[in-house]
Structure 1
Amino acid sequence: MKITRLSTYRVAPRWMFLKIETDEGLVGWGEPVVEGRARTVEAAVAELGELLIGKDPARINDHWQSMYRGGFYRGGAVFMSAIAGIDQALWDIKGKALGVPVYQLLGGLVRDRMKTYCWVGGDRPADIIAQIHDRVALGFDTFKMNACEELGLLDSGRAIDAAVAKVAEIRAVFGNSIEFGLDFHGRVGWPMAKTLIRELEPYRPLFIEEPVLAEQAEYYPRLAAQTAIPLAAGERMYSRFEFKNVLHAGGLAIVQPDLSHAGGISECMKIAAMAEAYDVALAPHCPLGPIALAACLHVDFASWNAVLQEQSIGIHYNADGELLDYIVNKDAFAMEQGSVRPFVLPGLGLEIDEARVIERSREVSDWRNPLWRHADGSVAEW
């Protein structure tokens, strides 16, 4: 079998799908994207695709190494996201060729179901209580929300109090009947992170995500030393080489590689294994589309230390397109009390509605994340 063509499709709300075709008629699908930079990743996929045409798709490890090591410069969000989507599609082909789900190729199941969680509240947390009530009615009991709006390196007690008040209200309404993680989203610098984490402790969030940016990872162990709240990070780390340094330094209780940013299934299985060696849990980052989520779940089903899976049903980004819009077998993601069962179909386990993908790709606009500013006019972290 030989690879004959790579085609990309940018689709709403902010996703990009990749189709890899072969001379035997089998196709694989991946989801290579950097949210807000889809066209840039699209160009990277086209360049890397030159290494794959005419090659055997089954040689996934060799293709990964060729793409990663074949050029002098490597790493980073765009390059690793391009590799990630290609890697996903190659695993999809291999599973289909052998007639088994990808998790079987990764060593088989370590669990019978995978717990997922929902987003609530939006970029600037609002209507949280009502949204949680709606999701609880659907069977979910675990959630994530942004912890705060933009914070300055030195900010007021009022800003801290406003963030804490929202969390206090959640506990007052729901008690311990639900769990929730709080995403600092890299909006909080080291000086204010110390204060905000301390003030949030009485409300026992399940975890705090990206307490500071990955560029400030040296503060993870220092923050962890002052709190009992588990700290999580990893969505803006792109290979095992970045996770290696963070795991060695300590501080994180949960790593969150993104299967569409951190080199795909091949790389994230290695990251998961590294994390397990440090007694660190895995909770893949995935506010993206169905192919990315499927890739995450295959890693989860084959990784003992996987504890939670993010998914994007109802997320605030999805106004123009939902998780199930582009797949035929919508029951693949059927939720039972917030958990997903292993896929049955071979490969990634999805039947992509290709006609729908092509149609929506013709009318898509380029999504951009907001550009926030502080009161003094300086750029704020979103």
Structure 2
Amino acid sequence: MEITDYELFEVPPRWLFLKVTTSDGTVGWGEPVVEGRAKTVRAAVEELMDNYLLGEDPTTIEDHWQAMYRGGFYRGGPVLMSAIAGVDQALWDIKGKQFGAPVYDLLGGPACDRVRVYQWIGGDRPADVGEAAKEKVDAGFTALKMNGTPEMRRVDTPAAVADAVDRLATVREAVGPEIDIGVDFHGRVSKPMAKRLAVELEPHEPFFIEEPVLPEHNDALPEIASRTSTPIATGERMFSRWDFKQIFEQGTVDIIQPDLSHAGGISEVKKIATMAEAYDVALAPHCPLGPIALASCLQVDACTPNTLIQEQSLDIHYNEGSDVLDYLVDPDVFEYEDGYVDLPDAPGLGIEVDEDVVRERAGDVNWHNPVWRHDDGSVAEW
């Protein structure tokens, strides 16, 4: 068996799908994308497929991963690692189908029966979070996540801090103490504001505070962690096990959030998760993406004993025009019940992509995140 062909599809709302075909007709799917940089990643995938994969045996996944990562001399970063991630997902999908087993069975078998998920509320500039929280809890979710703030100045006012606290307090009052509420700082918050917010939010007991500072400022995490008992999560903009070394050695991060479509795919995130277990750090993969990315996450979640919870993008504020279940032949594979999703048990990634829908909706999507500006006209973190 050898790889004979591949196709790439840009589909709404902001995803890139990869279809890999082998000489015996087996098809594997991957989701290689950087949100807002789909065309750039598409070019990187084409380079990898044309130079390293076409004509090769798809089953030697580790060797292919090493060749894609090390073969170009320059390595790492969001574009290359996202391209590798999508190819890696597709290769695992093929291998699982070859053996008639879910990928997690090939990685040691399940360590759980189902995976807990959380639901997004609010929006980029969070609003109406109390009512939204009640609706999602009534729908059966037991964990929520919200953006903590809109854009913030490097040193902002007491009113800006109070607004963030009031939003979390509103959600906590609406859902009570039985529901977990993650608060995402989204890298919008400078170190001085992260220190203040971590302290002020703590009385309302957030599930975690996410990306309190940008990864380039991870050296500030020990100081932030020293001010609060709230668990700290980060990792969506970290792309390999080497990127995670520092925070494991610091001992200040409690939850890591690598993205299966950005951090080298199933092969790499499984290794990152195993490193995390040695440091008593939980896994909660980042996934505001499509069904192939989510299916890949669940494969790793299933066989990882330190899995805490899984992000998923159903009804997320980015999903305009298409949603996570739209591209599946059987959307019930991701049926959420009591805040959990059952493990997919079909071979490979466990999903059947509806190729007709993919081809119908594929085109020039061209999604980009907004560029926010402060009152003085300077660019703000989004």
Bin of the TM-score, shorter chain as denominator length: over 0.9
- The residue that corresponds to 2:380 in the other structure is 380
Does structure 2 retain, via aligned residues, the 8 Å contact 1:92–1:348? yes
Provide Cα deviations, 1:30-49, integer angstroms capped at 9, x if missing partner. 00000000000000000011
CA-atom RMSD in angstroms: 0.8
Q: State the one-letter code of the partner of 2:167.
A: K
Secondary structure, aligned partner of 2:320: helix
Inter-partner Cα distance in structure 2 for 1:190 and 1:153: 8
- The residue that corresponds to 2:249 in the other structure is 248
Inter-partner Cα distance in structure 1 for 2:331 and 2:381: 36
- The residue that corresponds to 2:220 in the other structure is 219
Q: What are the within-5 Å matches in structure 2 for residues 1-382 of structure 1?
A: 1-50=1-50, 51-362=52-363, 364-382=364-382
Inter-partner Cα distance in structure 2 for 1:221 and 1:320: 41
1:279 CA displacement: 0.3
Q: State the one-letter code of the partner of 1:211.
A: P
1:177 CA displacement: 3.0
After TM superposition, which residue ranges in structure 1, 4 or more long, deviate above 4 angstroms? Answer: none
Inter-partner Cα distance in structure 1 for 2:104 and 2:147: 32
1:343 CA displacement: 1.1
Provide Cα deviations, 1:63-103, integer angstroms capped at 9, x if missing partner. 00000000110100011000000000000000001100001
Secondary structure, aligned partner of 2:73: coil
Secondary structure, aligned partner of 1:319: coil
TM-score normalised per structure 2:
0.99
Does structure 1 retain, via aligned residues, the 8 Å contact 2:131–2:174? no
1:116 CA displacement: 0.2
Q: State the one-letter code of the partner of 1:199.
A: E
Provide Cα deviations, 1:5-27, integer angstroms capped at 9, x if missing partner. 12110000000100001010001
Secondary structure, aligned partner of 2:53: coil
Of the structure 1 ranges 122-131 and 303-312, higher mean CA displacement relative to structure 2 is found in 122-131
Secondary structure, aligned partner of 1:217: helix
Secondary structure, aligned partner of 2:172: helix
Of the structure 1 ranges 161-170 and 204-213, higher mean CA displacement relative to structure 2 is found in 161-170
Does structure 1 retain, via aligned residues, the 8 Å contact 2:82–2:262? yes
Q: State the one-letter code of the partner of 1:2.
A: E
Provide Cα deviations, 1:194-248, integer angstroms capped at 9, x if missing partner. 0111110100000000000001000112111111000000000000000112211
1:172 CA displacement: 2.2
1:280 CA displacement: 0.3
Secondary structure, aligned partner of 2:9: strand
Inter-partner Cα distance in structure 2 for 1:52 and 1:170: 49
Does structure 2 retain, via aligned residues, the 8 Å contact 1:122–1:146? yes
| Unaligned residue ranges in structure 2 (runs of 5+) | none
1:365 CA displacement: 2.4
Inter-partner Cα distance in structure 2 for 1:102 and 1:174: 36
Provide Cα deviations, 1:258-308, integer angstroms capped at 9, x if missing partner. 000000000000000000000000000000000000000010000000010
Q: State the one-letter code of the partner of 1:334.
A: E
Query: What is the aligned length?
Result: 381
Does structure 2 retain, via aligned residues, the 8 Å contact 1:220–1:250? no
| Unaligned residue ranges in structure 1 (runs of 5+) | none
Identity of aligned residues (%): 58
Inter-partner Cα distance in structure 1 for 2:71 and 2:290: 29
Of the structure 1 ranges 215-224 and 280-289, higher mean CA displacement relative to structure 2 is found in 215-224
Does structure 2 retain, via aligned residues, the 8 Å contact 1:116–1:310? yes
Secondary structure, aligned partner of 1:94: helix
Q: State the one-letter code of the partner of 2:158.
A: G
Inter-partner Cα distance in structure 1 for 2:65 and 2:89: 11
Does structure 2 retain, via aligned residues, the 8 Å contact 1:182–1:207? yes
Q: State the one-letter code of the partner of 1:15.
A: W
